[in-house]
Amino acid sequence: MSSDSERFAEAEDGGPQPEKHCGHGRGGMGEEVKRKEDQRFITGRGNYVDDIKKPGMLHCEIVRSPHAHARIENIDKSRALKVDGVVAVLTAEDLLEHDLATMPTLMDDTQDVLVNDKVKFQSQEVAAVIATDRYTAKDGAQKVVVDYDVLDPVIGADKALEDDAPVIRDDIEGKEDNHCLDWETGDEEATAKAFEEADVTVKEDMLYQRLHPAPIETCGAVGDYDPGKDKLTVHMTSQAPHIHRTLFAQVSGIPEHKIRIVSPDVGGGFGNKVPIYPGYVVAAAASYVLEEPVKWVEERSENIQSTGFARDYDMTGEIAATEDGEIQAVRTDVLADHGAFNAVAQPSKFPAGFFNIFTGSYDIDTAYGTLTAAYTNTAPGGVAYRCSFRVTEAVYLIERMVKVLADELDMDPAEVRRKNFIQPEQFPYESATGWNYDSGDYEKALDKALEMADYDHYREEQQRRIEEDADKLLGIGVSSFTEVVGAGPGQSCDIAGVEMFDSAEIRVHPTGNATVRVGVQTQGQGHETTFAQIVAEELGMDVDDITVEHGDTDTDPYGLGTYGSRSTPVAGAAAAVASRKVREKAKAIAANELEAAEEDIDWDRESGQFHVTGAPDRSISITEIAAGAYMNHPKSEEPGLEAINYYDPPEMTYPFGSYIVVVEVDRETGEVEFEKFVAVDDCGNRINPMIIEGQIHGGLAQGIGTAMLEHVTFDDNGNVTGGDFMNYLLPTSMEIPEFETGHTVTPSPHHPIGAKGVGESPTVGSPPAIVNAVVDAMSHGGISHVEMPMTPDTVWEKLDEAGLSMDPADNVSLEFDDQQSGGTADD
């Protein structure tokens, strides 16, 4: 029999041990339990915001600006109000009456709920039409007449910062330019010195293009004000219901205890549902004013055009190194486009989010980074999109730059990485920019990936194709990324002024099953299963006897929601600690039931039983104890068996991985085909390997979308030119290769069950691997970078620049020549 501490030593006992699957079959840690929630999803019984129907419910349609920059001169509601079934038309003026005209963003900025005076991006919310059904609301919206005085739009951060650029944010007192923020990190002087003295320096410009998170379910809300109870319920698509409740209280002045946010099933978030959007507020405000439930659900194009976008980081990277590839310093400079409002869903203590983790997996003691951000006439920007708050951009920068350095030195990029990795014995490791990495074994993950990818074979094959002047070039890309997830320790980040923690509450019922409530919010990550597994593991219960609830601020403990892959690192820890609290109490009850002293009771993880020390057959399970907790409680204890934990993590967790991508690049068409795609991830101890695998597959697909297809684009007038799925291209199964996944396990020493997050790793780690692969196919022609998305025409231009392209006509004429000389032509 193995004791608790042998399996998963608690943090104070020197840290959690590497994963050992209990295999006790109760659905604990490490078991591939099928997702409990899938039963209802695949049988069409999910309950999404748009499924909610309430008696008397009205529908809201938002009138949006066709212009990117314009002053509103007049809004004429009269024709809309004449439409049969239209109940009300709301404008900023109406909201002002109720003090609901502006809302705070998540970053020290305010945004009009409905435009008051000046439109700042195309599709901005101008008016709202409330009607008896959705179609009537749409008809009404078309009849609202808005007179605009069109102004010059400012598109592009570089243009926005030009001296004569029109000022977008004249609503901010004293604002005379479009400058949004400045930020710097690291040691400027030491870095400059390192660059001066280095044997080799490399420099590359790269754009991390604007992306849209594109969850399958768009955003929506049902506002439901109950005048009898004076209580406002808002059902909404939310990744963070409690934060949204606090923000609603701030927006409306309604006391927080009179607001209930319900986030039912959420059909994907990917960061898109972290911010607060005007539509949510309008639905709630309309319900408050009209005293009827009001539903607002976005269309796809509204979701793409008006909700927060991601990335849009124009970066310069530089590395200083020795001749044999030892990196001595990194420097970066960023120009960021923040859109019209600083709605950035990232920790406010770091205005550039977690971008300053750009030293990556490498032991680089000198670094310096600067960033300038601008307001532009585009949708509010910089939301997190499967990215841990800008880690995506940082990882892209350093992983691209390592490849640039390797090419400059004519070294193998895997070798350059190996030379510079932070070594296992250096953890906990403090980076040059102030991060405290918890644990890592980067070389192990890289070695595993190299082996899985058959790296040496592909290097030979690559050489062969170059020598034989083959039609298709081979490229091999490597990325050995470090993520930072689990926001977070109070001192390092907060959101909307709230310090970060999360929560779990466990109630064991008299008949021996349990309800677990958490402050995080699943959008497809499988929390109903994995949180149950943590509790099953820690209490020796069966996973089927545990129900996990979330997404209702009236019943769940306050928590800060799901983003930055923080659910496992923070709420997962809370679930483990709360379970252990329950276990402590259960021990007292077990002693009572087994007529032994409490000190003589041991808990055995394998069997899930409490037993008298040295007498394993005098045992009792938590299920049997539960009744005693209520009906026969020891006099030393209160009745009942429940616990709650608010977990404030001591540190972030640092998952990592190595990805290897092999591509074929067609010299005729510029088309890129994936030949091999290997992903080795390390997220510490694993709760459910099957769910992790699913997370990796989904995230890699999004990485492929990023590298190959996706880009939100604008014309000079600020019109979104990729505002629907015909133009904003998401990868389908046709573009996704077979993934080969592997893992290593390096537990987090400070997490109660040694787990790190994993939800964003694949999206963070894969784009540089893919770009490195495409560059690698052409680097013998002197190509050092290809911008994303790497469409065939972008790639073909690079091939041409390198003298590697083949004109399709060449091939045709070649064949023709062959046929002539061979005399086999049948003409």
Question: What 3-state DSSP class applies to 316?
Answer: strand
Active site residue 22: no
Number of Cβ atoms within 10 Å of the Cβ of 530:
26
**Selected binder of ligand MCN within 341, 362, 389, 563 (CB under 6 A):** 563
- Give the x/- contact pattern for ligand CUM in 181-220, rule: CB under 6 A: ----------------------------------------
Is 567 one of the binding residues for ligand MCN (CB under 6 A)? yes
Angle of the 413-420 helix axis to the 442-453 helix axis, nearest 10: 160
Decide whether 213 or 768 has the Cβ nearer to ligand MCN. Answer: 213
Is 610 one of the binding residues for ligand CUM (CB under 6 A)? no
β-strand 502-508 against 514-518: which pairing, if any? Answer: antiparallel
Decide whether 274 or 374 has the Cβ nearer to ligand CUM. Answer: 274
* Identified catalytic residue from 60, 387, 493, 683: 387
φ, ψ for residue 592 (rounded to 5)?
-60, -45
- Give the x/- contact pattern for ligand MCN in 495-534, rule: CB under 6 A: ----------------------------xxxxx--x----
Distance between terminal CA atoms of the chain?
Answer: 83
Q: Which helix (H) or strand (E) holds 328?
A: strand 327-337
Write down the residue that tokens 């994907």 correspond to: 268
Q: Residue 410, by phi and psi: left (phi above 0), alpha (psi -120 to 50) or beta?
A: left
Is 564 one of the binding residues for ligand MCN (CB under 6 A)? yes
Active site residue 386: yes
φ, ψ for residue 217 (rounded to 5)?
-85, 125
**Selected binder of ligand MCN within 565, 746, 766, 805 (CB under 6 A):** 565
Is 235 one of the binding residues for ligand MCN (CB under 6 A)? no
> Which 383-412 positions form the footprint of ligand MCN (CB under 6 A)?
386
* Identified catalytic residue from 593, 664, 675, 760: 760
Q: Tell me how far, at minimum, the Cβ of 678 lies from ligand CUM, in Å.
A: 24
- Residue 753 tokens read as 């069950």
Question: What 3-state DSSP class applies to 652?
Answer: coil
Is 307 one of the binding residues for ligand CUM (CB under 6 A)? no
For 212-299, where are the alpha helices, taking DSSP H only?
A: 241-252, 278-290
Decide whether 35 or 403 has the Cβ nearer to ligand MCN. Answer: 35
- Distance, in Å, from the CA atom of 371 to the CA atom of 375, rounded to the nearest integer, reads 14
- Give the x/- contact pattern for ligand CUM in 544-573, rule: CB under 6 A: -------------------xx---------
Is 440 one of the binding residues for ligand MCN (CB under 6 A)? no
Question: What 3-state DSSP class applies to 807?
Answer: coil
- Distance, in Å, from the CA atom of 798 to the CA atom of 80, rounded to the nearest integer, reads 53
Q: Residue 436, by phi and psi: left (phi above 0), alpha (psi -120 to 50) or beta?
A: beta
Q: Tell me how far, at minimum, the Cβ of 384 lies from ligand MCN, in Å.
A: 7
The 310-321 sheet, strands edge to edge: 179-186, 367-374, 327-337, 310-321, 200-211
- Distance, in Å, from the CA atom of 382 to the CA atom of 496, rounded to the nearest integer, reads 15
- Distance, in Å, from the CA atom of 517 to the CA atom of 532, rounded to the nearest integer, reads 10
Active site residue 387: yes
Is 698 one of the binding residues for ligand CUM (CB under 6 A)? no
* Identified catalytic residue from 386, 583, 605, 667: 386
Q: Tell me how far, at minimum, the Cβ of 257 lies from ligand CUM, in Å.
A: 27
- Give the x/- contact pattern for ligand MCN in 681-700, rule: CB under 6 A: --xxxxxx--xx--x--x--
Decide whether 223 or 382 has the Cβ nearer to ligand CUM. Answer: 382
Q: Tell me how far, at minimum, the Cβ of 99 lies from ligand CUM, in Å.
A: 30
> Which 89-148 positions form the footprint of ligand CUM (CB under 6 A)?
none
Is 385 one of the binding residues for ligand CUM (CB under 6 A)? yes
Active site residue 820: no
Choose the contact partner of 403 out of ligand MCN, ligand CUM, none; CB within 5 to 8 A by kind: none
**Selected binder of ligand CUM within 140, 269, 380, 657 (CB under 6 A):** 269
- Distance, in Å, from the CA atom of 397 to the CA atom of 203, rounded to the nearest integer, reads 11
Q: Which residues have CB under 8 Å from 686's CB, separation 6+?
A: 19, 29, 30, 692, 743, 745, 755
Q: What residues are paired with 224 via a beta bridge? A: 233
Choose the contact partner of 268 out of ligand MCN, ligand CUM, none; CB within 5 to 8 A by kind: ligand MCN
Q: Tell me how far, at minimum, the Cβ of 354 lies from ligand CUM, in Å.
A: 9
As a dihedral over the C-alpha atoms of residue 716, residue 720, residue 68, residue 313, rounded to 10 degrees, the angle is -80
Nearest-CA neighbor of 781 among 445, 475, 348? 475
Q: Which stretch binds ligand MCN (CB under 6 A): 117-125, 418-426, 440-448, 561-569?
A: 561-569
**Selected binder of ligand CUM within 180, 214, 274, 508 (CB under 6 A):** 274
Q: Tell me how far, at minimum, the Cβ of 381 lies from ligand CUM, in Å.
A: 14
* Identified catalytic residue from 239, 305, 525, 609: 239
- Distance, in Å, from the CA atom of 45 to the CA atom of 51, rounded to the nearest integer, reads 10
Number of Cβ atoms within 10 Å of the Cβ of 218:
23
Q: Which residues have CB under 8 Å from 117's CB, separation 6+?
A: 71, 72, 92, 171
Q: Tell me how far, at minimum, the Cβ of 710 lies from ligand CUM, in Å.
A: 15
Q: Tell me how far, at minimum, the Cβ of 487 lies from ligand CUM, in Å.
A: 9
Choose the contact partner of 153 out of ligand CUM, ligand MCN, none; CB within 5 to 8 A by kind: none
- Distance, in Å, from the CA atom of 341 to the CA atom of 107, rounded to the nearest integer, reads 9
φ, ψ for residue 277 (rounded to 5)?
-115, 155
Q: Tell me how far, at minimum, the Cβ of 272 lies from ligand CUM, in Å.
A: 8
Q: Tell me how far, at minimum, the Cβ of 364 lies from ligand MCN, in Å.
A: 26
Active site residues: 239, 386-387, 760
Question: Residue numbers of the site for ligand MCN (CB under 6 A)?
Answer: 215, 268-271, 386, 523-527, 530, 562-568, 683-688, 691-692, 695, 698, 755-760
Question: Residue numbers of the site for ligand CUM (CB under 6 A)?
Answer: 239, 269-271, 274, 384-389, 563-564, 760
